[in-house]
């Protein structure tokens, strides 16, 4: 028995040594060059093996469930105008030493566990429309990149274990605008919650759709951002179809957004979490730590969402279904006080251009529409940024091609191409 145990331990040590090539990769990594494709393939295999081994140490997991929630008829403090109106209505000013407003039940749970669920964040009709839009946009973006009309980084984000996964960057027109209205606009649940955790100065960091096809591998556990005293960002994953266990739901370890949890995960050396955007994972795998953690699965219905602190340990599970594609529309908001370098799954034209308050004001101006024309004849904040994004697409002669989901547009002199 002792000999068998020793052999098992030696085998495990050897496997972990073989895995080392894939363990220094952050959660998101740049696409391999043709010269490095062989090495990248071996690294991906090693990374996938680590993901499988980590999963074997974890509990089976139970579904992430939603707290009882109420939609706010008039979200307090959401957007500059709403905040100003609220202060004027109450005719009060905060004085030094006055108590801060208590956190909502959702914000309290998010602070404690690092992840919460909100049901029915998107309407069924919009979910279906957005799913079809995403599939069509992926086809168009792939064709643009392949034909040299657009740079890949302007349409797709980078992922580890990219095979059978796609991270598509989305435009600011059509169904994505309607989705932002339902997610962040008046009467939403997510909008006021984000206001509580990042404030109206929070910056849009990601607007994309992550697709996991049958055969996509189990990812290793990771935080999207290293531990810092102030959480860097929050991400909302919204299911565009019902998600079952076979489809590889996102797996969360609640309560692992803390300094103590990161220290344990990185083998006692918290500095390893700062080595890359999403941290570096090296042997040995923290078996005892993983076995001790509660596991929650993002078994969402279409239109439901999971909002998580990006410091929370999580991963994409393997899609073991025969023919079910899992699509997750998602947005992320960066805390303006964050010091960490963050990934931006966002089209370049939109980066550092949209705060939570500005988005709320623009959605109010749209008033349920998807496009608008302002007093100066412009298309509003979203429309102007979408026009800048259109400059990323050119025909083979170098001329700009403009494509919009709802209306055509003419570029003004400020966008003149030389």
Instruction: Give the pLDDT of residue 395.
Output: 57
Question: What's the rounded Cα separation, in Å, for the pair 166 and 15?
Answer: 29
pLDDT of residue 404: 41
pLDDT in tens, 128-171: 999 999 999 999 999 999 999 999 999 999 876 568 999 999 99
Cα–Cα dist 191/77, whole Å: 10
Q: What is the pLDDT of residue 68?
A: 73
Q: Pick out the chain residues at pLDDT < 50.
A: 1-9, 11-36, 72-98, 277-280, 398-418
pLDDT number for residue 243: 98
pLDDT of residue 414: 29
User: Does this model's pTM top 0.75?
Assistant: yes
316, β-bridge pairs: 250
Tokens representing 139 are 């086809």
Q: Tally the C-alpha atoms within 13 A of residue 402's C-alpha that lie toward its C-beta.
A: 15
- Contact indicator for 190, 107 with CB cutoff of 8 Å: no
Q: pLDDT value at position 374? A: 77
Tell me if the bond preceding 381 is cis, omega within 30° of 0: no
Q: What pLDDT sits at residue 37?
A: 66
The 326-334 sheet, strands edge to edge: 115-118, 305-309, 233-239, 326-334, 203-212, 165-169
pLDDT tens readout for residues 92-111: 443 344 456 788 999 999 99
Encode 145-185 in three state secondary structure: HHCCCCCHHHCECCCCCCCCEEEEECCCCCHHHHHHHHHHC
């Amino acid at each position: 028995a002792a000999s068998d145990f020793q052999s098992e331990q030696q085998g495990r040590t050897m496997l972990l040594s073989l895995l080392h090539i894939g363990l220094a990769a952050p959660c998101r990594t740049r696409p391999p060059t043709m010269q490095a494709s062989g090495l990248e393939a071996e690294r991906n295999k090693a990374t996938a093996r680590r993901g499988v081994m980590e999963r074997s140490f974890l509990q089976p997991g139970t579904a992430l469930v939603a707290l009882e929630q109420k939609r706010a008829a008039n979200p307090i403090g959401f957007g500059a105008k709403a905040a100003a109106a609220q202060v004027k209505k109450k005719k009060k000013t905060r004085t030094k030493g006055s108590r801060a407003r208590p956190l909502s039940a959702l914000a309290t749970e998010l602070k404690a566990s690092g992840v919460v669920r909100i049901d029915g964040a998107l309407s069924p009709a919009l979910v279906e429309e957005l799913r079809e839009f995403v599939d069509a946009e992926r086809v168009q973006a792939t064709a643009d990149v392949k034909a040299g009309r657009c740079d890949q980084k302007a349409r797709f984000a980078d992922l580890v274990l990219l095979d059978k996964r796609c991270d598509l960057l989305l435009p600011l027109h059509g169904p994505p605008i309607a989705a932002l209205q339902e997610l962040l606009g008046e009467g939403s649940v997510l909008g006021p919650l984000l206001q509580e955790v990042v404030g109206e100065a929070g910056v849009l960091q990601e607007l994309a759709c992550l697709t996991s096809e049958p055969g996509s591998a189990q990812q290793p556990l990771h935080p999207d951002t290293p531990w810092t005293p102030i959480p860097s960002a929050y991400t909302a994953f919204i299911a565009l179809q019902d998600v079952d266990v076979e489809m590889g739901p996102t797996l969360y370890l609640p309560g692992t957004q803390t300094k103590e949890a990161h220290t344990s995960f990185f083998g006692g050396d918290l500095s390893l979490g700062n080595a890359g955007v999403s941290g570096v994972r090296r042997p040995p795998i923290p078996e005892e730590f993983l076995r001790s953690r509660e596991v929650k699965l993002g078994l969402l219905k279409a239109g439901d969402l999971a909002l998580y602190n990006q410091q929370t340990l999580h991963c994409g599970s393997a899609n073991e279904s025969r023919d079910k594609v899992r699509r997750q529309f998602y947005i992320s908001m960066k805390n303006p006080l964050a010091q960490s370098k963050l990934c931006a799954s966002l089209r370049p034209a939109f980066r550092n251009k949209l705060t939570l308050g500005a988005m709320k004001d623009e959605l109010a101006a749209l008033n349920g529409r998807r496009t608008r024309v302002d007093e100066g004849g412009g298309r509003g904040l979203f429309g102007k940024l979408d026009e800048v994004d259109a400059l990323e697409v050119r025909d083979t002669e170098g001329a700009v091609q403009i494509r919009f989901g709802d209306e055509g547009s003419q570029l003004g002199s400020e966008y003149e191409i030389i």
